[in-house]
Chain A
Amino acid sequence: METAIDFNHILLFKTNISSNKGKQRLHSILDKHPAVQCWNIDMEDSDYVLRIISETLSHTQIIEIINHHGYQCCELT
């Protein structure tokens, strides 16, 4: 449940994932990732904000995964 989330487990990133193809790619990476509780990307925002809820992953680990698939990704501050 969204309301029961520990705010420390919300990881936010600015990306350049602006296309549906990119979003599909995220599905294939994140949907089955065992450490990702849930995720979404705000395609309507100019920062294409990726929001991930995970109890164990760090910002750095996510950035590495996304970069590895050819997309830019940095922590949203």
Chain B
Amino acid sequence: MRLRNTDKEELVKQKAIELIIKDGLEGFSMNKLARACNISVATPYIYYKDRDDLIMKVAMEELRVMEEAFIKDFDPEEPFEQGLRKQWENRYRYARENPGMNQFFDQLRSSSYQEEFLSGFMTGFISAMTRFMHNITARGEIETMPFEVYWSIAFGTLYNLIRFDMEGKSLAGKPFKMTDEILWKAFDLVVKSLKK
């Protein structure tokens, strides 16, 4: 009698993420996954139809987790600085609590899964962020600019600092450790550059 074993299912999922981060999508197979989990080759196929099904389902589930973390207590009607501060807090916390997930999503973004991946990309989150940008532009808090420019200025700095922090070094191997002081100093500068 085969019973659903949620521990095993979770193990399969976690190992899949680990392997994809470590070896990329090209090197990922159900066989390797089963070996890494120390389970029979058949087990992953009980939960997932095939390799593609596994990758898509795991990615979608992780996207939902990320979306929830990003929009937690975020109100798109808030003024620019408060709203952006909440976004920085949420995104920074998520990155700290889920190290490696950025690499996991990067693997997917640069692969043939991109189209499917992006089409399911956090619709609730996107509409909240679009609404926020619309509001702050309409209220004249920031200049009118293409979304991509806004996004790059609003979050590019944060993501770069997070990457330096994860890697423990910045340019030319210079040691780097994020502190609250650095984070919020950077935030102030970003706010200053975007504010009208």
Binding site for B on A (CB under 8 A): 2, 7-8, 10, 12, 14, 40-42, 44-47, 49, 51, 76-77
Interface string of B41-78 (1 = CB under 8 A from A): 11001100111100000000000000000000000000
Q: With A and B bound together, what is the CA distance between A42 and B30 in angstroms?
A: 9
CB of A42 within 8 A of CB of B31, answer: no
Please list 13 pairs of residues, one from A and one from B, whose beta carbons are closer than 8 Å in the complex, sorted by A's number.
A2-B49, A8-B1, A12-B42, A12-B45, A40-B49, A42-B45, A42-B49, A45-B29, A45-B31, A45-B50, A46-B31, A49-B45, A76-B45
Residues of chain A with a CB closer than 8 A to B41's CB = 14, 47, 49, 76-77
CB of B29 within 8 A of CB of A77, answer: no
Query: Counting CB contacts under 8 A, is B4 at the interface?
Result: yes
Binding site for A on B (CB under 8 A): 1-4, 29-31, 40-42, 45-46, 49-52
Would you give the shortest CB distance from A48 to chain B, in whole angstroms? 11
Residues of chain B with a CB closer than 8 A to A12's CB = 42, 45-46
Residues of chain B with a CB closer than 8 A to A44's CB = 29, 50-52
Would you give the shortest CB distance from B186 to chain A, in whole angstroms? 43
Of all chain A residues, the one with the shortest Cβ separation from B57 is A2
Q: With A and B bound together, what is the CA distance between A45 and B28 in angstroms?
A: 10
Of all chain A residues, the one with the shortest Cβ separation from B2 is A7
List of 8 A-B pairs having minimum Cβ-Cβ separation, nearest first? A42-B50, A7-B2, A76-B42, A12-B42, A12-B45, A8-B2, A44-B51, A45-B30
Would you give the shortest CB distance from B8 to chain A, in whole angstroms? 11
Q: With A and B bound together, what is the CA distance between A75 and B2 in angstroms?
A: 15
Would you give the shortest CB distance from A2 to chain B, in whole angstroms? 7
* Residue from A8, A10, A14, A49 in contact with B50 in the complex, judged by beta carbons closer than 8 Å: A49
CB of B45 within 8 A of CB of A51, answer: yes
Of all chain A residues, the one with the shortest Cβ separation from B49 is A40
CB of B30 within 8 A of CB of A49, answer: yes
